[in-house]
Structure 1
Amino acid sequence: VPDPVVRSPEDLHALLVSEGVTVLSQTPSAFYALQAADALAPGPRLSLEAVVFGGEALEPQRLAPWLDAHPDSPRLINMYGITET
């Protein structure tokens, strides 16, 4: 994925939708931004089946808007571990 797309939550959201991506690995910070872009995005929905978090600590309470908007949410996997601290 080109750097400019990765750095734009709106562009990344559009790419994930257009390519039908089902598994996404992101830092929590990047996902929070993607979550905000998803809330504002009209049209087709994401096809995610799993989101894997790593690289920094996850704040589960910040996922509440995502879980409310996606009751059939993809599996959310927190891979952040002690080796990353």
Structure 2
Amino acid sequence: MPTIVVEVMPKAELLDPQGKAVLGALTRLGRTEFTGVRIGKRFELTVDGPVTDETRAAVAKIADDILSNSVIEDVVAIHYPEAE
């Protein structure tokens, strides 16, 4: 069964307190080569059957309406399985 992956990230102009905390931890561990960390979400949607144009349209709508909060997040990518 094909799996579609949706990636959601906080809007670039918003602070990311989780990312800032991880960056602080990395710095404390001596990993100073990193200058920024942003934390997002990954959703995997398994499809029963082929991925059609209708499925792609539905995933795009679901990503915008349900999987992300458009006030503070952007859907940055939707990855579809390669055609078999």
Q: TM-score normalized by structure 1?
A: 0.29
Q: TM-score normalized by structure 2?
A: 0.29
Say which structure is richer in strand.
2
User: Of the two structures, which has the highest relative contact order with CA contacts closer than 8 Å and spacing of 6 or more?
Assistant: 2
Q: From the CA coordinates, give the structure whose radius of gyration is larger.
A: 2
Say which structure is richer in helix.
1
